């Protein structure tokens, strides 16, 4: 075949004076070929998956995407889910690490989807076959949780029971752009293959997304290489002495620090969270109303699928509650009660439980391992006493 092509090219050149060049002699085409090949390689292999630059999340790591894909997978075995943000994630992960159910580092913990200690406590209190899955996402808003639930139901993974861990921040946070939050980006702007059956504009948009993926990944490589060389030569990236070599040092997965579930009221974390929540709790009526509508929609979707809904307000420190906007707490509690009645849900109030003190928290909002175990025990006792709840859960599990 190659000989025939060469003969054809020579014949055309002799007859018409046309000189055919190999396709890769075109610099543009060669560049495009290399870009696409490299893009495919990066997307499939994700070579930066286990590379860490402190304070920076690289695209290859795609922690949110990994969690979502595992939870949407039909082989994922659960009958009950836990929804919430990082506060819910900690009460699932840290008790398991504390009791040596899981050995995790600060990277692998984000891939951990079980809640073994919480599941065991609830099983003992209610004598029901719970199979809990941790579906919480750090930094998520209610709109993110709704989007995840919508896709979970679309994939046919319909939970029998949903424990929704409620804290004020996901209803209030004005520091997060809802259009570019991690969960939103996963479903709305995900790197996808081109669907040639779609209309032209959709295909074009998909191609641009595919092409831009290379440049986003390329920027990650620039961050990694800058960190690497600055660390080697003990130089800062920005010349101020506080650059990558000082703060954003390069490391690999094997050198990640193990999760310590025993940390209590760590001063620098308390200060950091306090500064964050001062901004996150800035009341904006449009933000709050939209998130409340999303919460209403999420409860409605779950109830339509005969999922029993258990709302639990998580413990918070007095220091954190004091940062809430004036009058918000009363309004929020009233809105929660309305939704509970509307959707026939169950509500358990642990937000101001006096049995929790600052030593049960990592900072002023996230429970540590001991605090997490105390939470599950307190919830288990309340669930056990709630009239009609066990019967409702039995019916849901039997469907």
pLDDT along the chain (399 residues), means of 10: 54 55 68 80 76 71 80 86 96 97 85 94 95 94 95 92 97 84 74 55 67 67 80 62 52 75 96 94 93 97 95 96 94 96 95 93 97 97 92 87
Neighbouring residues of 64: CB distance < 8 A, sequence distance ≥ 6: 137, 182, 183, 186
389 within domain boundaries? yes
333 within domain boundaries? yes
CA distances for 387 relative to 40, 103, 310, 350, angstroms: 56, 38, 13, 18
204 within domain boundaries? no
pLDDT of the residue at 69:
85
Domain that holds residue 64: 52-190+257-398
173 within domain boundaries? yes
pLDDT of the residue at 96:
97
Three-state DSSP string of 248-314: CCEEEHHHCCECCCCCCCCHHHHHHHHHHHHHHCCCCHHHHHHHHHHHHHHHHHHHHCCCEEEEEEC
CB atoms within 10 A of CB 284: 12
Domain CATH number, residue 287: 3.40.50.1110
276 within domain boundaries? yes
Sign, CA dihedral 107-111-113-117, equals negative
CA distances for 370 relative to 92, 293, 349, angstroms: 12, 34, 19
147 within domain boundaries? yes
pLDDT of the residue at 132:
96
223 within domain boundaries? no
| DSSP per residue, 347-384 | EEE-TT-TT--GGGBSSSSSB-HHHHHHHHHHHHHHHH
pLDDT of the residue at 7:
57
pLDDT of the residue at 82:
97
Find where tokens 């081109």 sit: 194
362 within domain boundaries? yes
Structurally, the chain folds into a number of domains equal to: 1
């Amino acid at each position: 075949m190659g000989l025939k092509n060469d003969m054809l090219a020579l014949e055309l050149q002799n007859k018409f004076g046309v000189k055919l060049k190999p396709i890769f002699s075109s610099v543009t085409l060669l560049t495009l070929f290399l870009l696409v090949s490299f893009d495919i390689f990066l997307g499939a292999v994700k070579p930066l998956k286990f590379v860490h630059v402190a304070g920076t999340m690289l695209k290859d790591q795609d922690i949110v995407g990994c969690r979502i894909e595992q939870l949407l997978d039909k082989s994922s075995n659960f009958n009950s889910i836990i929804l919430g943000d990082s506060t819910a994630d900690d009460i699932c992960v840290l008790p398991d690490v504390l009791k040596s159910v899981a050995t995790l580092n600060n990277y692998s913990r984000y891939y951990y989807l079980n809640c073994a200690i919480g599941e065991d406590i609830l099983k003992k209190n209610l004598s029901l076959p719970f199979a809990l899955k941790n579906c919480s996402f750090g930094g998520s808003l209610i709109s993110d949780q709704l989007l995840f639930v919508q896709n979970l139901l679309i994939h046919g993974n319909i939970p029998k029971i949903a424990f929704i861990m409620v804290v004020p921040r996901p209803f209030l946070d004005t520091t997060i752009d809802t259009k570019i939050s991690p969960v939103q980006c996963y479903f709305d702007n995900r790197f996808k293959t081109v669907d040639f059956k779609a209309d032209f504009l959709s295909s074009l948009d998909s191609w641009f997304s595919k092409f831009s993926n290379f440049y986003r990944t390329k920027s990650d490589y620039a961050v990694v290489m800058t960190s690497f060389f600055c660390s080697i030569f003990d130089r800062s990236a920005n010349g101020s002495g506080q650059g990558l070599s000082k703060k954003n040092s390069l490391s690999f997965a094997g050198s990640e620090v193990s999760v310590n579930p025993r940390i209590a009221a760590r001063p620098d974390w308390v200060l950091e969270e306090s500064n964050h929540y001062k901004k996150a709790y800035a009341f904006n009526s449009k933000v709050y109303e939209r998130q409340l509508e999303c919460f209403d929609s999420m409860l409605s979707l779950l109830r339509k699928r005969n999922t029993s809904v258990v709302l639990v307000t998580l413990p918070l420190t007095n220091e954190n509650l004091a940062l809430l906007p004036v009058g918000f707490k009363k309004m929020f509690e009233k809105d929660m009660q309305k939704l509970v009645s509307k959707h026939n849900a169950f509500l358990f109030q642990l937000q101001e439980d006096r049995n929790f003190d600052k030593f049960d928290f990592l900072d002023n909002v996230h429970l540590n391992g001991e605090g997490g175990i105390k939470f599950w025990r307190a919830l288990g006792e309340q669930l056990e006493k709630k009239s009609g709840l066990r019967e409702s859960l039995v019916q849901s599990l039997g469907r």
